[in-house]
Structure 1
């Protein structure tokens, strides 16, 4: 077994095709709290009320318990401590269990570099530190102070990102700060930049809006009253994992994708013909023409 690119993605000795082609991420266990989980009844899975397939290639999959994630971060000015880092089957990012000073316990998305024992806080006047949540209005247009830079803030040690940056006592978010879990509507909770390894950059502020550069490259205006979390979402190597076999895909609730050229004409416009035949059209089409 060896680690790929120091991202805690393990490659195993090639004894079977599944281990030869597959990779395994960090072995993060999941022991969720009963009051923070609930079951979901997935009926149909890609079918409408009449049982007709409306979204292809969906079905099956392992049963899941949904974890209640605190995207709003509305425990204002109350410090919390990271107690566990857990696996969540409903997303590719890890989650953290936070114990707040008032006894409240909540899950949040795991920020890159956060370890067990770190403290976080949310509010309007909180330090610019990884995992802290604050409104975009807490912005300093001055460039004299360096922003929270991912490359300088974290280092890799045995596949684990460790935060080396000293905690800043300033409460102004400088331009260029890396953020995630960004609100679109005030009080609704974070809706943008929540996937594993996702990060946005605060590039400007003007009037009542702040300009953000999203992971897709889109430059978007967001109200400065909306909040965001400092740092990058953890598990940055999620896109480098290989499932290795078809069964692992079925566990995720994804069914096989069949090419139209191997179907019959009744099933797809590309189907039919003797042997390996071309699609018989100038350009490819969907199953519905």
Structure 2
């Protein structure tokens, strides 16, 4: 999707950019309201995530991350804006009458067909297991597909997104706008993926993924142009600690423009703010990360 610039006489439209206009009227049976009362606070009312609050009301779109409509072809009917994520979503009409939302794959247009299963072609938007020696969950029952049929094997180097971590739970990795992972190896019961962050991770070969890259690749190039647009997203201003009061930040206080009053900068909670990379703790989360 393209990013549009406007040359006008007001700072908000001169500095801001607007994405391509897409349909934004969701289906009533695929949305539900959300009750946001915390705004970055926990059950005790204490701020746990700073700079959050306000924002426009949102309706949550039910996204099909599982892609469990097996071997039933679907057609892309609309490409819609979703206020809950920076990627666009597609409304799919399946052959059995089912209607679902999925993440919009890059390059997909209205009228394209997609399908999910174990014997589907390697095509953009199709969902299939990472290996032909795959198992799948159908209606809560684990079925060994290796004995029934040989599935289409996903080749090495395939660009994928919406990747499962746990079999049958649905995609949990690589779902942001423009995100894409790469299948680089298969060995034993695991497949090796290179994630957008650069991490190399092991995933079970039974887990499924969607072929292609997530659409709206220019989302990170969009400029809001004014502070009000940021507030519509529920994000409050970020203030420097040196202009706060002493009760709010260790750098605060003093008469006029005063120094921080410490040898080294600190975080709002008093910890050192400028740790060198050699001093930062590097711990391995699990053996699934290589």
Q: TM-score, normalised by structure 1?
A: 0.85
Change in 2 beyond 3 A, CA 1:172/1:135: same
For residues 245-281 of structure 1, give each alpha carbon's deviation from its aligned partner in whole angstroms, at most 9, with x where no partner exists.
1100000001111110001222211012232222122
Conserved? CA contact 2:136–2:167, under 8 Å:
no
Conserved? CA contact 1:112–1:232, under 8 Å:
yes
The Cα of 1:50 is off from its aligned counterpart by: 3.0
For residues 88-147 of structure 1, give each alpha carbon's deviation from its aligned partner in whole angstroms, at most 9, with x where no partner exists.
0000000000000001000000000000000000001100000000000xxxxxxxxxxx
> In structure 1, how many angstroms separate the alpha carbons of the residues matched to 2:166 and 2:259?
50
Residue 198 of structure 1 is matched in structure 2 by 179
Conserved? CA contact 2:135–2:206, under 8 Å:
no
The Cα of 1:29 is off from its aligned counterpart by: 2.2
> In structure 1, how many angstroms separate the alpha carbons of the residues matched to 2:166 and 2:142?
32
For residues 139-164 of structure 1, give each alpha carbon's deviation from its aligned partner in whole angstroms, at most 9, with x where no partner exists.
xxxxxxxxxxx999999999999999
1:83 is aligned to 2:77: yes
Conserved? CA contact 1:128–1:170, under 8 Å:
no
Unaligned runs of 5+ in 1: 1-6, 137-149
Conserved? CA contact 1:127–1:168, under 8 Å:
no
- Compute the RMSD of aligned alpha carbons: 8.3
Change in 2 beyond 3 A, CA 1:243/1:154: farther
Conserved? CA contact 2:74–2:93, under 8 Å:
yes
- Equivalences, count: 270
Change in 2 beyond 3 A, CA 1:153/1:222: closer
Q: TM-score, normalised by structure 2?
A: 0.85
The Cα of 1:43 is off from its aligned counterpart by: 1.3
Conserved? CA contact 1:127–1:167, under 8 Å:
no
Q: Which region of structure 1 is more displaced relative to structure 2, 245-254 or 50-59?
A: 50-59
Unaligned runs of 5+ in 2: 271-290
> In structure 1, how many angstroms separate the alpha carbons of the residues matched to 2:149 and 2:240?
55
> In structure 1, how many angstroms separate the alpha carbons of the residues matched to 2:253 and 2:167?
54
The Cα of 1:49 is off from its aligned counterpart by: 2.3
Residue 60 of structure 1 is matched in structure 2 by 54
